[in-house]
Amino acid sequence: MRGKIGMHILGILDRHTDFASAHVSPRNVDAWLPPGYEARDRRYPVVYMHDGQNLFEPAISFGGLDMGVDEALVRLMEAGQTAGAIVVGIWNRGDDRWREYMPRQALAAPGALEHFQAEAGGDVLSDRYLEFLVDELKPFVDGHYRTLPGRESTFIMGASMGGLISLYALCQYPEIFGGAGCLSTHWPAGDGIVIDYLRSALPPPGSHRFYFDHGTETLDAQYEPYQQRADAILQAAGYRRGVDWITRKFEGAEHSERAWRQRVHIPLLFLLEGREA
């Protein structure tokens, strides 16, 4: 089932209800189309975003406030900073979120996988989740919408655990994703074990972009030391700060949709146009 959602949303939100998969449980998938999509015969880059129910509609968003992704992109378009993009919002499955968003290949140390599975209450599903994105969802999106399907126009983005699965997606499928936007990346998961994975899994520099950020309050107060370690790995691998990757620190910002709403335009612009806001 699919339906066009109206209300306060800028552009068109096309909802595919209970999108079926051979790899993961069904979930809703939203495709946001920018203003003018129906009137123009042009193709658009695509940003795949996790926690899709938190992106556009406050009534269904965690905490009652969405990230305002539609508003951010329309502002960038009106300012002439980007020609627009299609945003695909993949809803999370509640209790499965931890297991779908924790990078499985990062849990290679002895006992790490078993420890995480005991805490999460089941198997780590992130490899299957990425198979769903790459083998099922992306072909569907490219077949139903006017996309630019190449790596240089395909991006992935999320916040908190959504940041971890975004960087994991790029590292596991560097031929598919050209950039990853990671807001308030939850590095403490597994006591920073994903940073060790990043050291060995980063694709060669020059063809991919990474965006990282964090605040300084609530859960984000833990993140800076981890982020500094990740930054050192990127730099040592040859990634150029401000060109191939940026890291931003937001003083006073907490771990919430409200905080991410205030800065989501920055990773969108960096991924889509390769420059900072």
pLDDT, one tens digit per residue, over 198-229 is 999 999 999 999 999 999 999 999 999 999 99
How many separate domains does the chain show? 1
Residue 125 is predicted with a pLDDT of 97
pLDDT in the model for residue 267: 98
Nearest Cα to Cα of residue 212 among 238, 239, 190, 193: 239
Model-level pTM?
Answer: 0.96
**84-128: per-residue pLDDT in tens?**
999 999 999 988 999 999 999 999 989 999 999 998 889 999 999
Q: Which residue has the tokens 């598919």?
A: 176
User: Residue 9: what are its φ and ψ, rounded to 5°?
Assistant: -70, 135
pLDDT in tens, 53-77: 999 998 899 888 999 999 999 999 9
Looking at residue 158, what is its pLDDT?
98
- Supply the CATH number for residue 141's domain: 3.40.50.1820
Q: What integer pLDDT is reported at residue 3 of this predicted model?
A: 43
Which pLDDT does position 1 carry in this prediction? 36
Could you give phi then psi for residue 202, rounded to 5 degrees? -55, 135
Q: pLDDT class for 252, splitting at 50, 70, 90?
A: very high
- Beta bridge partners of residue 249, listed in sequence order: 214
Domain span at 248: 2-273
**pLDDT tens digits along 135-193:** 999 999 999 999 999 999 999 999 999 999 999 999 999 999 999 999 999 999 999 99
